[in-house]
Amino acid sequence: MSGPVSAVRARAAAKINLHLGVGATRDDGYHELCTVYQAISLFDQVAATPSDGWRVDTRAEPYVDRAAVPGVGDNIVTRAGALLAELHDVEPRAELLVEKAIPVAGGLAGGSADAAATLVVLDELWDLQTPRAELLELAVQLGSDVPFALLGGTCHGSGRGEVVEPVHDPGEWWWVVVPHRDGLSTPEVYRHFDDMVPDAAAPASSDGLVRALATGDPRELAACLHNDLQRPAFDLRPALRALIALGESEGALRGLVSGSGPTCVFLCEDESHADTVAEGLRYTGHVTALTATGPAPGPAVDTD
Ligand code: C5P
């Protein structure tokens, strides 16, 4: 017989958008999207232990701006805990430790990943056995890309990004990830998109990208990467344009702003090519350059 649970943990994977087609603003203020998400092996870790109250502590890698993490009252993990507790009519009692390796406001959906991991660790800690479909409904309430964060892997996203469907992705893709300590505000980047593209129509189709994924060939994928938020992100943070050019001159197959930025990702041939490109970027740009592979799984609980 197992003893009482002392800690429940889960890894929370960063996401990148391999294709991000942005359409017009809807009546609810969100933009219609056609996107393909991929979870990559850059992980936050969320751990929950039993407690009489509610507490959230955060630790962060040096390249992550810990001061930019919202306080406990405004933190998305608190909202996740409150929604799950409310669904089951239980008190939200736990002590959470969020260890951040995903930059804050970086275009990698780190907060969304933490929220999804929080749902699964608290479901286990509180022994609720919430059906997957109900967790997905909570995820939709938490943010547009939280449903994807719950699934992981590679998914097509539509609506405001919350309608997710796994896509066939047999490849092992290698990325160099260049984070920045200073984040970009997602609403600001979308507003700038509206200024630059006032007559946006239907979001660009991801069909070509989905076909390229199925080949497993990084050169095919490189040719199809697409992000409609890249131009507004370049406009708000001009240094990103030079960074993309630098990564490509170091041999990356293609550089791309991740989501609303400012994180940039560089697709490489394989692991050793990613190591070489990362080393080159560190040498020439004095930047933090990490390597990661995708697709990575969604959060799964680990108990001790
Ligand atoms: O859904 P979430 O809270 O993560 O979205 C954050 C912000 O990003 C929204 O308030 C909105 O400004 C912008 N957004 C958007 N269209 C989407 C998704 C997000 O305009 N489809």
Distance from residue 144's CA to the centre of ligand 1 (Å): 7
| Mean pLDDT taken over the chain | 96
**pLDDT over 90 at 94, yes or no:** yes
Confidence (pLDDT) at 1: 45
Mean per-residue pLDDT, 162-185: 96
Question: For residue range 223-273, what is the model confidence (pLDDT) as tens digits?
Answer: 999 999 999 999 999 999 999 999 999 999 999 999 999 999 999 999 999
**pLDDT over 80 at 37, yes or no:** yes
For a ligand 1 pocket test, name from 35, 160, 164, 189 the mutation site with the most ligand atoms within 8 angstroms of its C-beta.
160
Confidence (pLDDT) at 285: 78
Taking the CA of residue 31 as reference, the ligand 1 atom at the shortest distance is 16
Confidence (pLDDT) at 103: 94
Pocket lining: 191 vs ligand 1, CB cutoff 6 Å? no
Is residue 100 within 8 A of residue 69, CB to CB? The reply is yes
Pocket lining: 107 vs ligand 1, CB cutoff 6 Å? no
Q: Which residue is catalytic, options 44, 114, 123, 145?
A: 145
> Residue 4: which pLDDT band, with cuts at 50, 70 and 90?
low
For a ligand 1 pocket test, name from 19, 25, 30 the mutation site with the most ligand atoms within 8 angstroms of its C-beta.
30
Amino acid 295 reads: P
Is residue 260 within 8 A of residue 4, CB to CB? The reply is no
Mean per-residue pLDDT, 20-34: 97
Taking the CA of residue 161 as reference, the ligand 1 atom at the shortest distance is 21
Pocket lining: 226 vs ligand 1, CB cutoff 6 Å? no
What would the DSSP string read from start to end of 57-94?
Answer: EEEE-TTS-GGGSPPTTT-HHHHHHHHHHHHHT----E
Is residue 65 within 8 A of residue 262, CB to CB? The reply is no
Q: Which residue is catalytic, options 15, 100, 123, 169?
A: 15
Pocket lining: 30 vs ligand 1, CB cutoff 6 Å? yes
Confidence (pLDDT) at 283: 92
Spacing of C-alpha 131 from chain mean position: 23
Distance from residue 188's CA to the centre of ligand 1 (Å): 10
44 is catalytic: no
**pLDDT over 50 at 139, yes or no:** yes
Is this model's pTM higher than 0.85 or not? Answer: yes
Confidence (pLDDT) at 2: 55
Distance from residue 190's CA to the centre of ligand 1 (Å): 8
What residue's CA is closest to ligand 1, atom 13?
Answer: 187
For a ligand 1 pocket test, name from 108, 186, 194, 195 the mutation site with the most ligand atoms within 8 angstroms of its C-beta.
186
Distance from residue 215's CA to the centre of ligand 1 (Å): 32
Looking at the chain, the whole-number percentage of residues with pLDDT higher than 90 is 93
Confidence (pLDDT) at 5: 67
Pocket lining: 190 vs ligand 1, CB cutoff 6 Å? yes
Pocket lining: 110 vs ligand 1, CB cutoff 6 Å? no
Name which of 71, 130, 77, 285 is nearest 264 in CA terms. Answer: 285
207 is catalytic: no
Is residue 111 within 8 A of residue 76, CB to CB? The reply is yes
